[in-house]
Structure 1
Amino acid sequence: MRATLAIALTLATTSPAFAAGGGWNLGNTDFVVILAFLLFIGILLAAKVPSLIGKQLDNRADSIKSELEEARALREEAQTLLASYERKQQDVQAQAERIVANARDEAAAAAEQAKADLAASIARRLTAAEEQIASAEASAVKEVRDRAITIAVEVADQVISKQMTAADANKLIDAAIQDVEAKLH
């Protein structure tokens, strides 16, 4: 404090107003202002205002430091949460891709199964149609044979009835009876 007072007095005595002869006169406004300023500084120093201001600034700095640390901790927590959510999003994305891939595979398998079922159904229907055609063909052949036999019998009956006499008919009947008896015994 003494050093500050000495510096202030030195500056006051070397001022142009003091050199002009104003000296220690209270009528000199420059001197009064310097004196009031020095008195004000002295009161501030005596009341330990700089140390109070320093404490206030230190407290404020500590408060800011704690807020910064809290903000840093919150930021780290937010980054951790963000990373966690990003991992979850990636997991969900991967799961969605797996679900889509499974759905595509199942759809492809279902399509292949449907193709196989359709091919089997077509094969069954073709087989059934071929069987129906074969049956109809066999029926038609049988019907044609039966009709041919009927016509042949009718023609043979007409031919035989025109050419055969009663005696020839009796001979044929007797021969047929003997033939049947021989086969039965």
Structure 2
Amino acid sequence: MANILVLLASGAEGHAEPAVLGLDSYQWVALAMLVLVAVFVWKKVPGLITGGLDAKIAEIRKALDEAKSLRAEAEALRAEYAAKISGAEKDAEAMLAGAREEADAILAKAEADSKVMVARRQRMAEDKITAAERAAVAEVKARAVTAAAAASRKLIAERHDKKADKKLADEVISSL
């Protein structure tokens, strides 16, 4: 305070700086900073700050490592499923090829079976026609025999009399 009074009494025209205990304001600020730094060092604040920052860095590194491992797992799964899809496509192509081969085999068998069936039915039809021809020929022969027998009877009845019968009977007896 004495400095304040001295400055006021001298009537200096300049700006008066407050001074306490003989220290100017910039000295008080420097002293306060020194005390603050001493408290920080004494309370180990920088260690706490760096420790907190180190812990945060460790958490971030852990999260990054976890993210890297998750990404690696995701890439492995992606590769696995890509391989499965590729395998499934190959299996589908193989199934399709097998189905086509099977369909071709079934078609070929059906064609062969139909040819055999057509040939068998043709044989059956030919056999029926042959049987019908035989039956018709047999019927014509039977009618011819019947007609011939009837004609023979009629002719014999018309041309044969008792004399011819006797002569015929004598020939049969003599031939025995």
> What's the TM-score once normalised by structure 1's chain length?
0.68
Q: How does 1:104-183 map to 2 (within 5 A)?
A: 104-175=100-171
Q: CA deviation at 1:111?
A: 2.8
Match of 2:91 among 95, 114, 120: 95
Q: Deviations over 1:93-134 (max 9, x none)?
A: 322332233233223322322232222222212211210111
What is aligned with 1:72? 68
Task: Give, in angstroms, the shift of residue 167 of structure 1.
Answer: 3.1
Q: What code does the residue aligned with 1:149 have?
A: V
Give the letter for the 2:137 counterpart: V
Distance across 1 between alignment mates of 2:62 and 2:160? 141
Using the alignment, how far apart are the partners of 1:56 and 1:38 within structure 2?
24
Do 1:44 and 1:50's aligned partners in 2 also have CA atoms closer than 8 Å?
yes
SS of aligned partner of 1:22: coil
- How far, CA to CA, are the matches of 2:127 and 2:173 in structure 1? 43
In the TM superposition, what is the alpha-carbon distance from 1:147 to its structure 2 partner?
0.3
Q: Distance in 2 between matches of 1:131 and 1:164?
A: 47
Counterpart for residue 55 of structure 1: 51
Q: Which amino acid in structure 2 is aligned with residue 76 of structure 1?
A: A
Which range moves more in the overlay, 142-151 or 49-58? Answer: 49-58
> Which of 17, 23, 28 is the aligned partner of 1:22?
17
What are structure 1's unaligned runs of at least 5 residues? 1-18
SS of 2:132's partner is helix
Count of equivalent residues: 162
Q: 1:43 to 1:161 in 2, by over 3 A?
A: same
Rounded Cα–Cα distance in structure 1 between residues aligned with 2:57 and 2:167: 150
1:24–1:31 Cα contact (<8 Å) kept: no
Q: State the secondary structure of the residue aligned to 1:101.
A: helix
Higher relative contact order (CA 8 A, sep 6+): 1
1:134–1:71 CA distance, 2 compared to 1 (3 A): same
The normalised TM-score by structure 2 is: 0.71
Shift of 1:46: 4.3
| Identical pairs, percent | 35
Distance 2:65 2:38 in 1: 39
